[in-house]
Amino acid sequence: MAQSQKKLVASVDFGGCGVKSVMGSSKGSLMTSSYMEPYAVSVPHSSAASLQVSLKFSDPENCCWVGWNGQYVALGYLARSRFLGKERLVEAKVVTAAYKVLGMLWVASERLQLGSQFDASLSLLLPANEMHSKSALVERIKELAKNFVSPAGEIQANVSTVRCFPEGAGIFYLLAARMPNELRKSDIAIAMLGYRNASILVSRRGTLEVIATSDLGFHALVKEVSKRANNTYPEELVSTVAAGGWSGNKLSFELSAAVSESQPLYFGALENWLRNSIPKSCDRLVFCGGTADYLKPKLEETFAKSFNPIWHAGESLPPGADNFELGNRLLDAYGIYLVATAAERELQAKH
How does strand 71-75 pair with strand 40-42? antiparallel
- Give residue 277's pLDDT: 95
3-class secondary-structure state, position 166: strand
| CA angle, residues 298, 187, 123, in degrees to nearest 5 | 85
Where residue 281 falls among pLDDT bands split at 50, 70, 90?
Answer: very high
Region 48-69: mean pLDDT is 82
- Give residue 158's pLDDT: 96
Q: Are 67 and 73 in contact (CB under 8 A)?
A: yes
- Give residue 160's pLDDT: 94
- Give residue 55's pLDDT: 67
How does strand 18-25 pair with strand 7-15? antiparallel
Give the span between the Cα atoms of 90 and 88, in whole angstroms.
Answer: 6
Lowest average pLDDT, out of 176-190, 239-253, 306-320, goes to 239-253
- Give residue 231's pLDDT: 62
Higher pLDDT, 26 or 101: 101
Amino acid sitting at position 261: E
The mean pLDDT value of the chain amounts to 89
The Cβ of residue 302 has, within 10 Å, a number of other Cβ atoms equal to 17
Lowest average pLDDT, out of 50-59, 96-105, 262-271, goes to 50-59
Where residue 182 falls among pLDDT bands split at 50, 70, 90?
Answer: very high
Where residue 2 falls among pLDDT bands split at 50, 70, 90?
Answer: very low
Q: Are 168 and 253 in contact (CB under 8 A)?
A: no
Nearest to 309 by CA among 270, 335, 283: 283
pLDDT at 148 over 60: yes
Region 297-306: mean pLDDT is 93
pLDDT at 1 over 50: no
pLDDT at 184 over 70: yes
Give the span between the Cα atoms of 170 and 133, in whole angstroms.
Answer: 20
Kind plus residue range of the DSSP H or E element containing 304: helix 290-307
Where residue 92 falls among pLDDT bands split at 50, 70, 90?
Answer: low
Q: Are 332 and 288 in contact (CB under 8 A)?
A: yes
Cα dist from 351 to 140, 179, 223, 347, 348, whole Å: 28, 32, 53, 7, 5
